Amino acid sequence: MTTQEPTLVKTLDFQLDIQSDNESLLKDATLEARWVYNETIRLAKEGVDWDDISPRLEDEADLIKNTTQRIVSKALEAMENYYDYDDYNIPSHTKDGAYPLRANYEEGYNLSLTDDGEVTFRISAKPYNHVKGILKGSDAHLDLLKNALTSDEWKVTTSEALWREGEPELHVNIRNTERTVRDKQDSRTVIGVDVNEDNVALTALTEDGFEDTLVIDFPEIKFERHRYFTMRKRVQNAGKDSIHDTLEGREERFVRDRLHKVSRHIVEWSQQFENPCIVFEDLKEMRDSIDYGTRMNRRLHHLPFRALQFYTSYKAAFEGIPSDSIDPYKTSQRCPLCGHAERANRRKKRFKCKGCGHQDHSDRGASVNIAVKGIKKYMSWNVPALNSLPQVRKVRRQASGLVDSPTVTHPTVRGYPADGQVGVSD
């Protein structure tokens, strides 16, 4: 059984080779887009009905209506998006720099394929004022876009025109109209994924039992987020708020790049198994229920689980792999072997069951429990008996984006190795 998946969307990045002196027109339009975004936030904070904001700004903004509507929609999403919250309950500050022009295809922008094989663009920057030129970019992205313009398999949808490091770019979204995703109940392998602030743990279970397990470390995300947080605090204290958005943008691009690489690794690892289904914890309510003090709250509110789950899910969907989430209740506290659940079982990356004495890498143990819950939720077959778990294999994402060869953390005695890394013996 297959189901049509409507959200198989891929973003293609291009540089803009703009004709004549229209760069200034595009720049002015992105500054006007910033005004629309900031005005939306202001009106929403003042209690204006959200349905009334877009019609009001369509009349006031010096942009075409479609672009204004898209920007208002994005700003209102930010009001609900926890990633854009400061102090965890107050919507984020307004934008200082130029803001992307968001538009629907054939309403706010158009693309054409020339006889020479080039892709030309026309962006409606202002009413009756267009920015024209040629798209430049990687061969892979250009080939995908040309395919979308000439075939029925892909459809060009929305775009964003923006400035990155002083250069104009166009980010085009294309949606696949033909690919299908296998039904979850038809899966033969369940991949439990436990996402943390510095790693992601994976476990593959089938009806016959344990298939494989892997922990992917990415400590640089936690490190860089803390570094940028410190830098932003310092520039604010020095009264240099003008570079706040620059630092924030650099941090977002760094984190997004790393999460894309990790999500790609998760999907590639999952593809080795028969008919996999990827299962996450449903943590959407986590931020509403945690309060562990200012510093810990900031760390927990910046956990990358939501973005990593999104990136992994849509990459998996492109490969026909379904994904979903389960109730996270006690997945990190429950022993994967005997089922004993107690908070004292877990201490940082070490898990030691107070019931049966089983020792494990705490995140790997959580991924086992997530996979077990996925089996109970989706599969007609029984949960396999887990009498023992193999050693934990760990890889680490490097700054270059490369992955080291998998290494096994060899224990010196049953439990933990002498070098401090968590290990598990059979």
Sort strands 180-182 and 189-195 into parallel, antiparallel or unpaired.
Answer: unpaired
Residue 88 near residue 301 (C-beta atoms within 8 A): yes
The model's confidence at residue 3, banded by pLDDT at 50, 70 and 90, is very low
As a whole number of angstroms, the distance between CA 154 and CA 11 comes to 12
pTM of the model: 0.61
Structure tokens at 349: 């990356």
Q: Is the pLDDT of residue 236 over 90?
A: no
pLDDT, mean of residues 216-227: 77
pLDDT, mean of residues 173-197: 88
DSSP string for residues in 336-348: TTT--B-GGGEET
pLDDT tens digits for 356-374?
999 999 999 999 999 999 9
pLDDT tens digits for 390-410?
888 888 765 444 333 333 333
Q: Where are the domains of the chain?
A: 2-176, 182-408
Q: Is the pLDDT of residue 93 over 90?
A: no
As a whole number of angstroms, the distance between CA 274 and CA 328 comes to 25
Q: Is the pLDDT of residue 419 over 50?
A: no
Residue 304: what pLDDT?
65
Q: Is the pLDDT of residue 115 over 80?
A: yes
Residue 295 near residue 229 (C-beta atoms within 8 A): no
Residue 145: what pLDDT?
92
DSSP string for residues in 159-215: EEEEEETTEEEEEEEEEESS-EEE-GGG-SEEEEEEE-SSEEEEEEEETTEEEEEEE
To the nearest whole number, what is the mean pLDDT of the chain? 80
Residue 416: what pLDDT?
28
Task: Report which of residues 257 and 16 the model is more confident about.
Answer: 16
Sort strands 180-182 and 167-176 into parallel, antiparallel or unpaired.
Answer: unpaired
